A and B are shown apart, each in its own frame.
Chain A
Protein backbone atom coordinates (compact mmCIF):
# COMPACT_ATOMS: atom_id res chain seq x y z
CA UNK A 1 0.00 0.00 0.00
CA UNK A 2 1.41 3.35 -0.94
CA UNK A 3 2.32 5.82 1.73
CA UNK A 4 0.60 9.12 2.41
CA UNK A 5 3.39 11.61 2.24
CA UNK A 6 3.79 14.28 4.88
CA UNK A 7 5.65 16.70 2.61
CA UNK A 8 2.54 18.56 1.35
CA UNK A 9 1.42 19.02 4.93
CA UNK A 10 4.71 20.60 5.92
CA UNK A 11 4.58 22.86 2.88
CA UNK A 12 1.07 24.05 3.58
CA UNK A 13 1.62 24.58 7.30
CA UNK A 14 5.16 25.84 7.83
CA UNK A 15 4.83 25.80 11.60
CA UNK A 16 4.36 22.08 11.74
CA UNK A 17 7.32 19.91 12.76
CA UNK A 18 8.21 16.45 11.57
CA UNK A 19 9.28 14.01 14.23
CA UNK A 20 11.55 11.56 12.46
CA UNK A 21 11.84 9.01 15.25
CA UNK A 22 8.12 8.59 15.59
CA UNK A 23 7.22 9.29 11.98
CA UNK A 24 4.61 11.86 12.95
CA UNK A 25 3.65 15.42 12.16
CA UNK A 26 3.49 17.62 15.26
CA UNK A 27 0.53 19.93 14.85
CA UNK A 28 1.20 23.55 15.85
CA UNK A 29 -0.97 25.03 18.56
CA UNK A 30 -4.33 26.23 17.45
CA UNK A 31 -4.07 25.00 13.89
CA UNK A 32 -5.35 21.48 14.37
CA UNK A 33 -8.82 22.12 13.06
CA UNK A 34 -7.62 24.00 9.96
CA UNK A 35 -5.07 21.32 9.22
CA UNK A 36 -7.73 18.64 9.54
CA UNK A 37 -10.11 20.42 7.23
CA UNK A 38 -7.40 20.91 4.67
CA UNK A 39 -6.53 17.21 4.86
CA UNK A 40 -10.17 16.29 4.40
CA UNK A 41 -10.18 18.36 1.27
CA UNK A 42 -7.14 16.47 0.05
CA UNK A 43 -8.95 13.14 0.30
CA UNK A 44 -7.87 11.95 3.73
CA UNK A 45 -11.30 10.87 4.80
CA UNK A 46 -10.81 8.13 7.36
CA UNK A 47 -9.50 8.66 10.85
CA UNK A 48 -8.63 5.23 12.11
CA UNK A 49 -7.29 5.60 15.62
CA UNK A 50 -7.16 8.32 18.27
CA UNK A 51 -4.90 7.66 21.25
CA UNK A 52 -3.48 9.50 24.19
CA UNK A 53 0.05 8.99 25.46
CA UNK A 54 1.26 10.28 28.79
CA UNK A 55 4.87 11.34 29.34
CA UNK A 56 6.12 12.32 32.76
CA UNK A 57 9.04 14.67 33.13
CA UNK A 58 12.16 12.67 32.44
CA UNK A 59 15.82 13.04 31.61
CA UNK A 60 17.03 12.08 28.20
CA UNK A 61 20.68 11.36 27.46
CA UNK A 62 21.81 12.23 23.99
CA UNK A 63 25.13 11.86 22.27
CA UNK A 64 25.99 14.97 20.30
CA UNK A 65 29.17 16.39 18.92
CA UNK A 66 30.19 19.44 20.84
CA UNK A 67 32.18 22.41 19.58
CA UNK A 68 35.50 20.63 19.86
CA UNK A 69 34.26 17.89 17.52
CA UNK A 70 34.05 15.11 20.14
CA UNK A 71 31.07 12.98 21.03
CA UNK A 72 29.73 13.72 24.44
CA UNK A 73 26.67 12.69 26.35
CA UNK A 74 24.34 15.52 27.21
CA UNK A 75 21.41 15.19 29.58
CA UNK A 76 18.40 17.36 29.10
CA UNK A 77 15.03 17.24 30.78
CA UNK A 78 12.05 16.69 28.59
CA UNK A 79 9.03 18.44 30.02
CA UNK A 80 5.97 16.48 30.95
CA UNK A 81 3.31 16.35 28.26
CA UNK A 82 0.35 14.42 26.93
CA UNK A 83 0.20 13.58 23.23
CA UNK A 84 -2.99 12.94 21.33
CA UNK A 85 -2.09 10.77 18.34
CA UNK A 86 -4.27 10.48 15.23
CA UNK A 87 -3.77 7.84 12.55
CA UNK A 88 -5.28 9.00 9.27
CA UNK A 89 -5.89 7.10 6.06
CA UNK A 90 -7.47 7.83 2.74
CA UNK A 91 -10.15 5.40 1.63
CA UNK A 92 -10.54 6.96 -1.80
CA UNK A 93 -6.93 6.58 -2.77
CA UNK A 94 -6.24 3.61 -0.53
CA UNK A 95 -3.16 5.22 1.03
CA UNK A 96 -1.95 5.91 4.46
CA UNK A 97 -1.10 6.18 7.28
CA UNK A 98 -0.41 9.75 8.22
CA UNK A 99 0.23 10.31 11.91
CA UNK A 100 -0.64 13.61 13.60
CA UNK A 101 0.22 14.48 17.15
CA UNK A 102 -1.28 17.25 19.23
CA UNK A 103 0.88 18.11 22.23
CA UNK A 104 -0.43 19.56 25.43
CA UNK A 105 0.79 19.94 28.96
CA UNK A 106 -0.26 17.67 31.77
CA UNK A 107 -1.55 20.25 34.16
CA UNK A 108 -4.13 21.94 32.05
CA UNK A 109 -4.55 19.50 29.22
CA UNK A 110 -6.50 20.93 26.32
CA UNK A 111 -6.69 20.05 22.68
CA UNK A 112 -8.88 20.83 19.74
CA UNK A 113 -11.49 18.31 18.90
CA UNK A 114 -11.48 16.99 15.35
CA UNK A 115 -14.96 15.50 15.63
CA UNK A 116 -16.60 18.03 13.29
CA UNK A 117 -14.16 16.92 10.61
CA UNK A 118 -14.09 13.14 11.11
CA UNK A 119 -16.99 11.62 12.99
CA UNK A 120 -14.96 8.63 14.17
CA UNK A 121 -13.07 10.82 16.64
CA UNK A 122 -16.29 11.19 18.60
CA UNK A 123 -16.15 8.17 20.88
CA UNK A 124 -12.36 7.91 20.85
CA UNK A 125 -11.84 11.48 22.04
CA UNK A 126 -14.33 10.82 24.77
CA UNK A 127 -12.17 7.91 25.81
CA UNK A 128 -9.04 10.08 25.85
CA UNK A 129 -10.94 12.59 27.98
CA UNK A 130 -12.06 9.87 30.35
CA UNK A 131 -8.78 8.05 30.79
CA UNK A 132 -6.25 10.88 30.42
CA UNK A 133 -8.11 14.04 31.32
CA UNK A 134 -7.62 16.01 28.09
CA UNK A 135 -10.32 18.59 27.51
CA UNK A 136 -11.33 18.72 23.86
CA UNK A 137 -12.57 22.10 22.74
CA UNK A 138 -15.49 21.85 20.44
CA UNK A 139 -16.46 18.29 21.21
CA UNK A 140 -20.24 17.95 21.00
CA UNK A 141 -20.74 15.51 23.82
CA UNK A 142 -17.80 15.25 26.17
CA UNK A 143 -18.45 12.98 29.12
CA UNK A 144 -16.99 9.83 30.57
CA UNK A 145 -17.39 6.78 28.47
CA UNK A 146 -15.75 3.74 30.07
CA UNK A 147 -15.72 4.70 33.73
CA UNK A 148 -18.89 5.63 35.53
CA UNK A 149 -19.87 9.27 35.65
CA UNK A 150 -18.99 9.98 39.26
CA UNK A 151 -15.50 8.53 38.98
CA UNK A 152 -12.65 10.79 39.99
CA UNK A 153 -9.26 10.64 38.46
CA UNK A 154 -7.87 9.58 35.15
CA UNK A 155 -6.75 5.96 35.20
CA UNK A 156 -4.33 5.79 32.29
CA UNK A 157 -2.04 8.52 33.57
CA UNK A 158 1.32 7.23 34.67
CA UNK A 159 1.02 8.62 38.19
CA UNK A 160 -2.45 7.35 38.89
CA UNK A 161 -2.81 5.51 42.20
CA UNK A 162 -5.82 3.43 42.97
CA UNK A 163 -7.94 4.57 45.88
CA UNK A 164 -8.32 2.38 48.90
CA UNK A 165 -10.87 -0.29 48.07
CA UNK A 166 -12.50 -1.42 51.25
CA UNK A 167 -14.50 -4.07 49.43
CA UNK A 168 -11.49 -6.02 48.28
CA UNK A 169 -11.35 -9.48 49.80
CA UNK A 170 -7.86 -10.85 50.42
CA UNK A 171 -7.11 -13.96 48.43
CA UNK A 172 -4.19 -16.30 48.80
CA UNK A 173 -2.21 -14.59 46.06
CA UNK A 174 -2.09 -11.07 47.37
CA UNK A 175 1.43 -11.62 48.65
CA UNK A 176 2.61 -11.59 45.06
CA UNK A 177 1.01 -8.22 44.45
CA UNK A 178 2.77 -6.78 47.47
CA UNK A 179 6.08 -8.24 46.43
CA UNK A 180 5.80 -6.71 42.98
CA UNK A 181 4.62 -3.37 44.31
CA UNK A 182 7.57 -3.20 46.65
CA UNK A 183 9.73 -3.63 43.59
CA UNK A 184 11.48 -6.73 44.78
CA UNK A 185 11.19 -8.60 41.52
CA UNK A 186 13.30 -6.92 38.87
CA UNK A 187 12.66 -7.23 35.17
Chain B
Protein backbone atom coordinates (compact mmCIF):
# COMPACT_ATOMS: atom_id res chain seq x y z
CA UNK B 1 0.00 0.00 0.00
CA UNK B 2 1.15 3.56 -0.45
CA UNK B 3 2.55 5.67 2.33
CA UNK B 4 -0.57 7.67 3.09
CA UNK B 5 -1.71 9.07 6.43
CA UNK B 6 -2.53 6.32 8.86
CA UNK B 7 -6.27 5.90 9.12
CA UNK B 8 -7.95 6.26 12.45
CA UNK B 9 -10.28 3.33 12.74
CA UNK B 10 -10.25 -0.10 14.24
CA UNK B 11 -11.62 -3.29 12.93
CA UNK B 12 -13.93 -4.51 15.66
CA UNK B 13 -14.44 -8.19 15.98
CA UNK B 14 -17.50 -9.11 17.95
CA UNK B 15 -17.58 -12.28 19.95
CA UNK B 16 -15.22 -14.19 17.75
CA UNK B 17 -17.30 -13.67 14.61
CA UNK B 18 -15.12 -13.34 11.57
CA UNK B 19 -15.96 -10.25 9.64
CA UNK B 20 -14.97 -9.74 6.04
CA UNK B 21 -14.49 -6.49 4.31
CA UNK B 22 -17.09 -5.61 1.71
CA UNK B 23 -15.74 -4.50 -1.61
CA UNK B 24 -17.98 -2.17 -3.52
CA UNK B 25 -17.21 -0.73 -6.88
CA UNK B 26 -18.95 2.61 -7.11
CA UNK B 27 -18.71 2.06 -10.76
CA UNK B 28 -18.56 4.33 -13.71
CA UNK B 29 -22.33 4.49 -14.11
CA UNK B 30 -23.18 6.36 -10.96
CA UNK B 31 -25.24 9.50 -10.67
CA UNK B 32 -23.06 11.18 -8.11
CA UNK B 33 -19.59 10.57 -9.41
CA UNK B 34 -19.55 13.53 -11.78
CA UNK B 35 -18.83 11.57 -14.89
CA UNK B 36 -17.41 8.17 -15.71
CA UNK B 37 -15.32 7.76 -12.58
CA UNK B 38 -15.02 4.62 -10.53
CA UNK B 39 -14.07 4.20 -6.90
CA UNK B 40 -13.30 0.75 -5.54
CA UNK B 41 -13.98 1.00 -1.83
CA UNK B 42 -13.43 -1.59 0.84
CA UNK B 43 -15.92 -1.21 3.62
CA UNK B 44 -16.06 -2.41 7.17
CA UNK B 45 -19.70 -1.83 7.89
CA UNK B 46 -20.00 1.74 6.75
CA UNK B 47 -16.45 2.84 7.38
CA UNK B 48 -14.14 3.18 4.44
CA UNK B 49 -11.05 1.06 4.92
CA UNK B 50 -9.49 1.47 1.51
CA UNK B 51 -10.36 3.47 -1.56
CA UNK B 52 -8.89 3.19 -4.98
CA UNK B 53 -9.92 5.57 -7.76
CA UNK B 54 -10.01 4.17 -11.27
CA UNK B 55 -10.34 6.39 -14.31
CA UNK B 56 -9.51 6.27 -17.96
CA UNK B 57 -13.01 5.65 -19.21
CA UNK B 58 -13.02 8.93 -21.12
CA UNK B 59 -9.44 8.74 -22.37
CA UNK B 60 -9.38 10.06 -25.91
CA UNK B 61 -5.60 10.48 -26.17
CA UNK B 62 -5.92 14.16 -26.91
CA UNK B 63 -2.16 14.61 -26.54
CA UNK B 64 -1.31 12.28 -29.37
CA UNK B 65 -4.03 13.68 -31.63
CA UNK B 66 -2.53 17.13 -31.26
CA UNK B 67 0.80 15.89 -32.58
CA UNK B 68 -0.79 15.23 -35.95
CA UNK B 69 -2.67 18.50 -36.29
CA UNK B 70 -1.59 22.08 -36.65
CA UNK B 71 -1.64 24.38 -33.65
CA UNK B 72 -4.86 26.12 -34.64
CA UNK B 73 -6.70 22.88 -35.29
CA UNK B 74 -6.25 21.65 -31.75
CA UNK B 75 -7.92 24.74 -30.31
CA UNK B 76 -11.43 23.23 -30.62
CA UNK B 77 -10.20 20.15 -28.83
CA UNK B 78 -9.09 22.17 -25.85
CA UNK B 79 -12.72 23.23 -25.39
CA UNK B 80 -13.61 19.66 -24.77
CA UNK B 81 -11.05 19.01 -22.05
CA UNK B 82 -12.86 20.58 -19.16
CA UNK B 83 -16.16 20.99 -20.86
CA UNK B 84 -17.67 23.36 -18.33
CA UNK B 85 -14.99 25.99 -18.74
CA UNK B 86 -14.11 26.12 -22.39
CA UNK B 87 -12.96 29.74 -22.38
CA UNK B 88 -10.26 29.26 -19.76
CA UNK B 89 -8.95 26.14 -21.47
CA UNK B 90 -8.62 28.13 -24.66
CA UNK B 91 -6.78 30.89 -22.84
CA UNK B 92 -4.25 28.54 -21.28
CA UNK B 93 -3.45 27.05 -24.68
CA UNK B 94 -3.24 30.46 -26.34
CA UNK B 95 -0.91 31.63 -23.57
CA UNK B 96 1.43 28.68 -24.00
CA UNK B 97 1.51 29.09 -27.78
CA UNK B 98 2.01 32.86 -27.61
CA UNK B 99 5.16 32.26 -25.60
CA UNK B 100 6.62 30.44 -28.57
CA UNK B 101 6.26 33.36 -30.99
CA UNK B 102 6.56 37.06 -30.42
CA UNK B 103 3.11 38.51 -30.72
CA UNK B 104 1.44 41.37 -28.96
CA UNK B 105 -2.16 41.00 -27.83
CA UNK B 106 -4.18 44.24 -28.20
CA UNK B 107 -5.73 45.97 -25.18
CA UNK B 108 -9.33 45.30 -26.02
CA UNK B 109 -8.61 41.63 -26.56
CA UNK B 110 -6.92 41.41 -23.17
CA UNK B 111 -9.89 43.00 -21.44
CA UNK B 112 -12.30 40.71 -23.23
CA UNK B 113 -10.18 37.69 -22.30
CA UNK B 114 -10.41 38.64 -18.65
CA UNK B 115 -14.16 39.18 -18.92
CA UNK B 116 -14.68 35.78 -20.53
CA UNK B 117 -12.44 34.06 -17.99
CA UNK B 118 -14.23 35.56 -15.02
CA UNK B 119 -17.64 34.75 -16.48
CA UNK B 120 -16.40 31.19 -16.87
CA UNK B 121 -15.31 31.17 -13.26
CA UNK B 122 -18.81 32.25 -12.24
CA UNK B 123 -20.35 29.50 -14.36
CA UNK B 124 -18.09 26.85 -12.92
CA UNK B 125 -18.40 27.78 -9.28
CA UNK B 126 -22.12 28.16 -9.43
CA UNK B 127 -22.58 24.77 -11.13
CA UNK B 128 -20.19 23.17 -8.72
CA UNK B 129 -21.99 24.43 -5.67
CA UNK B 130 -25.22 23.24 -7.20
CA UNK B 131 -23.88 19.75 -7.87
CA UNK B 132 -22.26 19.56 -4.49
CA UNK B 133 -25.52 20.28 -2.71
CA UNK B 134 -27.20 17.86 -5.08
CA UNK B 135 -24.88 15.12 -3.88
CA UNK B 136 -25.85 15.86 -0.32
CA UNK B 137 -29.41 15.07 -1.13
CA UNK B 138 -31.07 18.37 -1.92
CA UNK B 139 -32.33 16.93 -5.14
CA UNK B 140 -32.49 19.73 -7.61
CA UNK B 141 -33.56 22.94 -5.95
CA UNK B 142 -30.22 24.68 -5.44
CA UNK B 143 -28.92 23.14 -8.63
CA UNK B 144 -31.62 24.62 -10.79
CA UNK B 145 -31.46 27.99 -9.09
CA UNK B 146 -27.79 27.98 -10.01
CA UNK B 147 -28.54 26.88 -13.53
CA UNK B 148 -30.87 29.84 -13.99
CA UNK B 149 -27.87 32.12 -13.67
CA UNK B 150 -25.71 29.85 -15.75
CA UNK B 151 -28.22 30.07 -18.59
CA UNK B 152 -27.85 33.83 -18.72
CA UNK B 153 -24.11 33.57 -18.96
CA UNK B 154 -24.27 30.84 -21.57
CA UNK B 155 -26.49 33.07 -23.66
CA UNK B 156 -23.79 35.73 -23.44
CA UNK B 157 -21.24 33.21 -24.66
CA UNK B 158 -23.44 32.24 -27.57
CA UNK B 159 -23.87 35.82 -28.64
CA UNK B 160 -20.14 36.38 -28.57
CA UNK B 161 -18.79 33.21 -30.10
CA UNK B 162 -21.61 31.24 -31.66
CA UNK B 163 -21.72 28.29 -29.29
CA UNK B 164 -22.82 27.92 -25.70
CA UNK B 165 -20.23 25.55 -24.37
CA UNK B 166 -17.65 24.68 -26.98
CA UNK B 167 -16.76 28.25 -27.73
CA UNK B 168 -13.48 28.01 -29.66
CA UNK B 169 -13.13 31.74 -29.20
CA UNK B 170 -9.49 32.46 -28.42
CA UNK B 171 -6.79 32.66 -31.06
CA UNK B 172 -3.05 33.14 -30.90
CA UNK B 173 -2.66 36.88 -30.62
CA UNK B 174 -6.20 37.83 -29.71
CA UNK B 175 -9.74 36.62 -30.16
CA UNK B 176 -11.64 35.34 -33.12
CA UNK B 177 -14.20 38.12 -33.48
CA UNK B 178 -15.38 41.12 -31.58
CA UNK B 179 -18.43 40.96 -29.37
CA UNK B 180 -21.66 42.17 -31.05
CA UNK B 181 -23.29 45.50 -30.29
CA UNK B 182 -24.93 45.80 -26.94
CA UNK B 183 -23.12 42.75 -25.56
CA UNK B 184 -21.27 44.78 -22.98
CA UNK B 185 -24.51 46.31 -21.69
CA UNK B 186 -26.11 42.91 -21.45
CA UNK B 187 -23.12 41.51 -19.64
CA UNK B 188 -23.24 44.42 -17.22
CA UNK B 189 -26.90 43.68 -16.56
CA UNK B 190 -26.14 40.04 -15.76
CA UNK B 191 -23.27 41.01 -13.51
CA UNK B 192 -25.39 43.58 -11.68
CA UNK B 193 -28.03 41.01 -10.88
CA UNK B 194 -25.56 38.40 -9.66
CA UNK B 195 -24.87 39.69 -6.11
CA UNK B 196 -28.54 39.61 -5.20
CA UNK B 197 -28.72 36.06 -6.51
CA UNK B 198 -25.71 35.18 -4.37
CA UNK B 199 -27.34 36.71 -1.31
CA UNK B 200 -30.44 34.65 -1.89
CA UNK B 201 -28.37 31.53 -2.46
CA UNK B 202 -26.45 32.05 0.74
CA UNK B 203 -29.63 32.54 2.63
CA UNK B 204 -30.88 29.26 1.17
CA UNK B 205 -27.80 27.23 2.00
CA UNK B 206 -25.22 28.59 4.32
CA UNK B 207 -27.00 28.24 7.63
CA UNK B 208 -28.74 25.03 6.80
CA UNK B 209 -28.06 22.68 9.71
CA UNK B 210 -27.99 19.61 7.52
CA UNK B 211 -25.30 21.05 5.30
CA UNK B 212 -23.31 22.25 8.28
CA UNK B 213 -23.32 18.95 10.06
CA UNK B 214 -22.58 16.93 6.95
CA UNK B 215 -19.73 18.99 5.59
CA UNK B 216 -17.92 20.39 8.59
CA UNK B 217 -15.14 18.18 9.77
CA UNK B 218 -15.42 15.97 6.72
CA UNK B 219 -12.50 15.58 4.37
CA UNK B 220 -9.72 17.27 6.30
CA UNK B 221 -6.79 18.22 4.14
CA UNK B 222 -3.73 19.47 6.04
CA UNK B 223 -1.65 22.19 4.49
CA UNK B 224 1.62 20.32 4.06
CA UNK B 225 -0.07 17.46 2.31
CA UNK B 226 -1.87 19.87 0.02
CA UNK B 227 1.33 21.63 -1.04
CA UNK B 228 3.27 18.43 -1.48
CA UNK B 229 0.51 16.76 -3.47
CA UNK B 230 0.37 19.60 -5.95
CA UNK B 231 -3.21 20.53 -5.14
CA UNK B 232 -4.13 23.93 -6.57
CA UNK B 233 -7.12 26.14 -6.90
CA UNK B 234 -9.89 26.62 -4.35
CA UNK B 235 -8.92 23.34 -2.65
CA UNK B 236 -5.46 24.67 -1.85
CA UNK B 237 -6.77 27.98 -0.65
CA UNK B 238 -9.21 26.21 1.61
CA UNK B 239 -6.27 24.50 3.29
CA UNK B 240 -4.66 27.78 4.23
CA UNK B 241 -2.26 28.66 1.41
CA UNK B 242 -2.78 31.99 -0.32
CA UNK B 243 -1.48 30.96 -3.75
CA UNK B 244 -3.49 32.29 -6.67
CA UNK B 245 -1.86 32.44 -10.07
CA UNK B 246 -3.68 35.62 -10.93
CA UNK B 247 -1.65 37.31 -8.22
CA UNK B 248 1.56 35.32 -8.49
CA UNK B 249 2.09 35.07 -12.26
CA UNK B 250 -0.04 38.07 -13.21
CA UNK B 251 -0.64 36.77 -16.72
CA UNK B 252 -2.75 38.88 -19.04
CA UNK B 253 -3.66 42.19 -17.41
CA UNK B 254 -4.64 40.94 -13.98
CA UNK B 255 -2.23 43.35 -12.36
CA UNK B 256 -4.61 46.22 -13.19
CA UNK B 257 -7.55 44.92 -11.22
CA UNK B 258 -8.08 45.19 -7.52
CA UNK B 259 -9.43 42.02 -6.02
CA UNK B 260 -8.86 39.87 -2.97
CA UNK B 261 -8.05 36.20 -2.74
CA UNK B 262 -10.09 34.32 -0.12
CA UNK B 263 -8.28 31.62 1.84
CA UNK B 264 -8.82 29.99 5.19
CA UNK B 265 -6.99 31.02 8.25
CA UNK B 266 -5.61 27.84 9.64
CA UNK B 267 -3.88 24.62 8.83
CA UNK B 268 -6.51 22.33 7.44
CA UNK B 269 -9.53 22.62 5.27
CA UNK B 270 -12.69 20.60 5.14
CA UNK B 271 -15.56 20.40 2.68
CA UNK B 272 -17.41 23.32 4.17
CA UNK B 273 -14.32 25.50 3.73
CA UNK B 274 -14.07 24.60 0.08
CA UNK B 275 -17.74 25.34 -0.45
CA UNK B 276 -17.50 28.74 1.22
CA UNK B 277 -14.26 29.65 -0.58
CA UNK B 278 -16.04 29.15 -3.87
CA UNK B 279 -18.93 31.35 -2.79
CA UNK B 280 -16.48 34.08 -1.81
CA UNK B 281 -14.53 33.71 -5.03
CA UNK B 282 -17.68 34.34 -6.98
CA UNK B 283 -18.04 37.68 -5.27
CA UNK B 284 -14.45 38.57 -6.12
CA UNK B 285 -15.03 37.61 -9.74
CA UNK B 286 -17.94 40.02 -9.83
CA UNK B 287 -15.60 42.77 -8.63
CA UNK B 288 -13.15 42.03 -11.40
CA UNK B 289 -15.95 41.94 -13.96
CA UNK B 290 -17.29 45.31 -12.88
CA UNK B 291 -13.85 46.88 -13.21
CA UNK B 292 -13.18 45.25 -16.56
CA UNK B 293 -16.55 46.15 -18.05
CA UNK B 294 -16.10 49.73 -16.97
CA UNK B 295 -12.58 50.10 -18.30
CA UNK B 296 -12.63 48.27 -21.63
CA UNK B 297 -11.23 50.38 -24.48
CA UNK B 298 -12.10 50.40 -28.16
CA UNK B 299 -9.66 48.87 -30.54
CA UNK B 300 -8.87 45.87 -32.58
CA UNK B 301 -9.15 42.30 -31.54
CA UNK B 302 -6.36 40.45 -33.20
CA UNK B 303 -2.65 41.11 -32.99
CA UNK B 304 -0.52 40.33 -36.00
CA UNK B 305 0.15 36.65 -35.61
CA UNK B 306 1.59 34.91 -38.67
CA UNK B 307 -0.94 33.28 -40.91
CA UNK B 308 0.74 29.90 -40.74
CA UNK B 309 1.79 29.24 -37.18
CA UNK B 310 5.28 27.81 -37.44
CA UNK B 311 7.34 28.54 -34.33
CA UNK B 312 11.08 28.00 -34.05
CA UNK B 313 12.27 25.06 -31.93
CA UNK B 314 11.53 26.02 -28.32
CA UNK B 315 9.64 24.85 -25.29
CA UNK B 316 7.06 26.68 -23.29
CA UNK B 317 4.88 26.06 -20.29
CA UNK B 318 1.89 28.35 -19.98
CA UNK B 319 -0.36 28.17 -16.94
CA UNK B 320 -3.44 30.00 -15.75
CA UNK B 321 -5.63 29.96 -12.70
CA UNK B 322 -8.54 27.97 -13.99
CA UNK B 323 -11.67 27.63 -11.91
CA UNK B 324 -10.58 24.17 -10.80
CA UNK B 325 -6.90 24.81 -10.25
CA UNK B 326 -3.76 25.42 -12.21
CA UNK B 327 -4.30 24.48 -15.82
CA UNK B 328 -1.04 24.30 -17.72
CA UNK B 329 -0.01 23.50 -21.26
CA UNK B 330 3.50 22.30 -22.08
CA UNK B 331 4.43 22.66 -25.74
CA UNK B 332 7.59 21.58 -27.51
CA UNK B 333 7.89 23.06 -30.98
CA UNK B 334 10.34 21.86 -33.57
CA UNK B 335 9.98 24.22 -36.50
CA UNK B 336 7.14 22.39 -38.25
CA UNK B 337 3.51 23.52 -38.19
CA UNK B 338 2.67 20.68 -35.80
CA UNK B 339 3.76 20.49 -32.16
CA UNK B 340 6.29 17.84 -31.23
CA UNK B 341 4.91 17.35 -27.74
CA UNK B 342 1.68 18.73 -26.38
CA UNK B 343 0.85 18.11 -22.78
CA UNK B 344 -2.05 19.24 -20.63
CA UNK B 345 -1.47 19.55 -16.91
CA UNK B 346 -4.93 18.63 -15.59
CA UNK B 347 -5.89 20.16 -12.23
CA UNK B 348 -8.67 17.66 -11.62
CA UNK B 349 -6.34 14.67 -11.92
CA UNK B 350 -3.75 16.09 -9.57
CA UNK B 351 -6.33 17.14 -7.02
CA UNK B 352 -7.47 13.51 -6.97
CA UNK B 353 -4.12 12.47 -5.46
CA UNK B 354 -5.45 13.26 -2.02
CA UNK B 355 -8.86 11.64 -2.39
CA UNK B 356 -7.74 8.48 -0.63
CA UNK B 357 -6.15 10.33 2.26
CA UNK B 358 -9.23 12.36 2.88
CA UNK B 359 -11.73 9.53 2.71
CA UNK B 360 -10.09 6.88 4.86
CA UNK B 361 -11.76 6.41 8.18
CA UNK B 362 -14.94 8.17 7.22
CA UNK B 363 -18.30 6.84 6.20
CA UNK B 364 -19.11 5.95 2.66
CA UNK B 365 -21.62 8.75 2.35
CA UNK B 366 -18.82 11.15 3.14
CA UNK B 367 -16.74 9.78 0.28
CA UNK B 368 -19.36 11.04 -2.13
CA UNK B 369 -19.33 14.49 -0.58
CA UNK B 370 -15.56 14.67 -0.57
CA UNK B 371 -15.47 13.75 -4.23
CA UNK B 372 -18.00 16.46 -4.90
CA UNK B 373 -15.94 19.06 -3.13
CA UNK B 374 -12.79 18.24 -5.11
CA UNK B 375 -14.61 19.37 -8.26
CA UNK B 376 -13.52 17.01 -10.99
CA UNK B 377 -14.55 16.92 -14.57
CA UNK B 378 -13.70 13.69 -16.30
CA UNK B 379 -12.87 15.29 -19.60
CA UNK B 380 -9.89 16.84 -17.91
CA UNK B 381 -8.87 13.89 -15.76
CA UNK B 382 -8.73 11.52 -18.69
CA UNK B 383 -8.10 13.91 -21.56
Contact = CB atoms under 8 A, between A and B. Distances in A.
A–B contact at 8 Å CB threshold (below)? yes
A41 to B, nearest CB: 14
A147 B352 contact: no
Contacts of B64: 155-156
Interface string A127-146: 00000000000001100111
Interface string A95-128: 0010100000000000000001011101110000
Interface in B44-90: 55-56, 59, 61, 63-64, 70
Given A23-B315, A87-B328, A146-B56, 12 more contacts: A21-B314, A45-B228, A51-B341, A53-B341, A91-B227, A91-B243, A94-B248, A99-B317, A122-B229, A123-B350, A123-B353, A155-B61
A150 to B, nearest CB: 13
B241 interface: yes
A24 B316 CA distance: 11
Contacts of A119: 225, 228-230, 353-354
Contacts of B3: 116, 140
A161 to B, nearest CB: 12
B66 to A, nearest CB: 11
B336 interface: yes
B59 A48 contact: no
Given A49-B328, A140-B3, A187-B70, A97 B230 contact: no
B313 A21 contact: yes
A53 B317 CA distance: 14
Interface string A46-66: 111101010000000000000
Contacts of A49: 317, 328, 330, 343, 345
A47 B315 contact: no
Contacts of A53: 332, 340-341
Interface string B326-365: 1010101000111011010100011011100000000000
Q: Which 3 A-B pairs have the closest CB atoms?
A: A120-B230, A146-B56, A119-B229
Interface string A144-180: 1111100000011000000000000000000000000
A99 to B, nearest CB: 8
Give the dominant DSSP class at A's interface.
loop
Interface in A15-56: 21-24, 45-49, 51, 53
Given A87-B317, A145-B56, A187-B70, A156 B63 contact: yes
A46 B70 CA distance: 32
Interface in B231-272: 231, 241, 243, 248-250
Nearest to A160: B64
B338 A187 contact: yes
Interface of A: 1, 21-24, 45-49, 51, 53, 85, 87, 91, 94, 97, 99, 116, 118-120, 122-124, 140-141, 144-148, 155-156, 187
B230 A87 contact: no
A127 to B, nearest CB: 8
A187 B229 CA distance: 41
Given A123-B353, A155-B64, A87 B56 contact: no
A158 to B, nearest CB: 9
Contacts of A116: 3
A70 B241 CA distance: 57
A53 to B, nearest CB: 5
Given A21-B313, A123-B352, A46 B345 contact: no
B107 interface: no
Interface in B162-213: none
A147 B59 contact: yes
28 contacts: A1-B248, A1-B250, A22-B315, A24-B315, A45-B227, A49-B330, A51-B341, A85-B330, A87-B328, A87-B330, A94-B243, A119-B228, A119-B353, A119-B354, A120-B229, A120-B353, A122-B2, A122-B353, A123-B352, A123-B353, A140-B1, A140-B2, A140-B3, A141-B1, A144-B56, A146-B59, A147-B59, A156-B61
